[in-house]
Every structure is written in C-alpha cells, then in structure tokens.
Amino acid sequence: VAAKKVLIVYAHQSSGSFNAAAKDAAVELLTAQGCTVEVSDLYDMKFKATATTEDITGEVKNPKNFQYALETKMAWEEGKLSADITEEHRKLTEADLVIFQFPMYWFTVPAIMKGWIDRVLTKGFAYTLEKRYSEGLFKEKKAMLSFTTGSHESMFSANGINGDMNVTLWPLQNGILHYCGFQVLAPQIFWAPNHSPSEVRSTMLEAWRTRLQGLLGETPLSFIPSDHFDGEKGFQLKPDVQEKHASKEFGLTVGTHLGKPLPPNSQVKAGV
C-alpha cells in the first residue's frame, strides 16, 4: 500500500485542550503507520472565516451582484483565488484522508472551520452540479469528523433533550462531506470531556488511539447512490427504489426517511 497523505483541519485555540490531544494522537499514530500528516491549525493560521470578494485577486466579474460560488469558480479556473485558499486546495488535492478535529459549537463546527468549508470547498474544485454526492469529485478520498461535545451522550440520544446525534450530524456528513463525494468514516465523538474525570478522558483518548491504528481500513458510512434519484423529476427517489423499500421498517437515511422511523445509528456507525 502506498503511503497515505492525511490532512487534519484543526480548530481549537488552546494547545492544552482535549482537542489538541486528539489531534496530536492522530498525527503520532498515523505518522507511525507511514502516513504523511499535514495539519491546518486554523486559529494559529488566523484563517479568515468570511467568504468575500477578498478571496479573488483582481476584479470580480459582477461587483453589483456578487455571487460567491459563481465568482470563485471562475477565479479558480483562471488561477485568481487568494493564496490562503490555493494553499488549502493543494493540501486537499494531495490528501487521501481528511480529519476535521474540533469542539462542537452550537450543534455544528466553529465559525473558523465553517469558514474553511465555505471558502476551500470551491465550486468547480470540490463539486459541480453534475459531480456531487456518490458521483462527487472527491470519491477517492475519505473524510471524518472528530469532535468534543459539551453534553453527555444521553442528552444526544433519541430520547434526550438535544435530540438524536444522527440528526445533528446529517447536515455536516451528508450535506458537506458526502456532497463533495468523500467516503465518510464514522465520526469519533468525545462526549463531554470538560464534564468528565481525568480517567474518563484518558479512556476516551486511548479508544481514539486504538481506532487510529485501523482507521485507514475502515468501512465508510453508507449513503444512497445518486442513480437512485431521478434528475428529470426534481431528484426524487425513483419509484422502483421507493417500492422496494415500502415494506421496510426504517427509512433509507436520516434525511431521506420516507416518513418512516430513522434508521438507527446510520450517521455514527459504519455498516449499520
């Protein structure tokens, strides 16, 4: 097996944080397996979070009605994107696996990481309307979320006050990672390290270290193939697929649930 390249997109302000320890463990364990690991430390880089005209060098095509996705697609084609985006494009192009390491803020990624997503996953470079989801441009690459929560696991359950973590993760894993074609590995969730005793934190980190040793061989989460939807009819699930699934107990996915109960653990465990 050729040596793999790994990009860790990391968002935490403190080198003493649990997120820093999780990131360091990934660097150490993956490097030990012969991987080349690069880290984009977003706070350290002072990475700009806002998607603006500054992301394009030179004139924009339509300053009166600036459309970010359209303008940056053209700028990418013409080699006129800002240097910070171009550098992240380089890292992403080379990477076989991308790990997003972050503390969950407000049920999603921190603003600086959302900015990386908004600015680096440029239209044309990361997706096109023809090349997305299972036909996506990054379908040879893997990606995963590794994050800490502020709430205990029980609160993120189907009966819990925060609701089902599978629902929380759907926009991130389906709407961003799978949208760009990535094979999405199951997330690594560190439940409430701030509210846990040090031995529990050590156990969590040890479990991550163990997982990292076999990470590259893991089976990704499953999503519905694009050809199950009819592009002529507003990208609706094809009738034969719906019929085949009519008698099943659960919906197909968290998002395409067909009005049925959600499939259990579809966004947190592979092969379920």
Report pLDDT digits (tens) over 135-176: 999 999 999 999 999 999 999 999 999 999 999 999 999 999
Q: CA gyration radius for the chain? A: 19
One-letter amino acid at 211 equals R
Rounded Cα gap, residues 118 and 69, in angstroms: 9
Contact criterion met (CB below 8 Å) for 228 and 256: no
What CATH number is associated with residue 180?
A: 3.40.50.360
- Alpha helices (H) in the chain, listed in sequence order: 18-32, 68-77, 83-94, 111-120, 165-172, 198-212, 239-245
Residue 14: pLDDT above 70? yes
What is the domain extent for residue 72? Answer: 5-223
Tens of pLDDT, residue by residue over 169-204, are 999 999 999 999 999 999 999 999 999 999 999 999
Q: Residues 240, 243, 249, 255: is their CA dihedral positive or negative?
A: positive
- Domain assignment present for residue 272? The answer is no
pTM of the model: 0.97
Tokens standing for residue 226: 């694009």
Residue at 184 is within a domain: yes
* SS3 (DSSP) at 10: strand
Q: Which two tokens stand for residue 195?
A: 């509210």
Confidence of residue 1 (pLDDT cuts 50, 70, 90): low
pLDDT computed for residue 250 by the predictor: 96
Q: State residue 7's pLDDT score.
A: 98
Please check whether residue 69 lies inside any domain of the structure.
yes
CA–CA gap between residue 214 and residue 32 (Å, rounded): 12
Axis crossing angle, helix 198-212 with helix 18-32, rounded to the nearest 10:
30
Q: Does 229 fall in a domain? A: no
Check whether 60 has a pLDDT greater than 70: yes
259 lies in a domain? no
| Mean confidence (pLDDT) of the chain | 96
Answer yes or no: is 115 within a domain.
yes
Number of domains in the chain: 1
Domain assignment present for 261 = no
Decide: residue 257, CB within 10 A, 0-12 exposed, 13-18 middle, 19+ buried: middle
Determine the distance from the C-alpha atom of residue 183 to the mean position of all C-alpha atoms in its chain, rounded to a whole number: 10
Is residue 247 in some structural domain?
Answer: no
Strand (E) or helix (H) holding 189: strand 188-190
Tell me what pLDDT residue 270 has.
Answer: 83
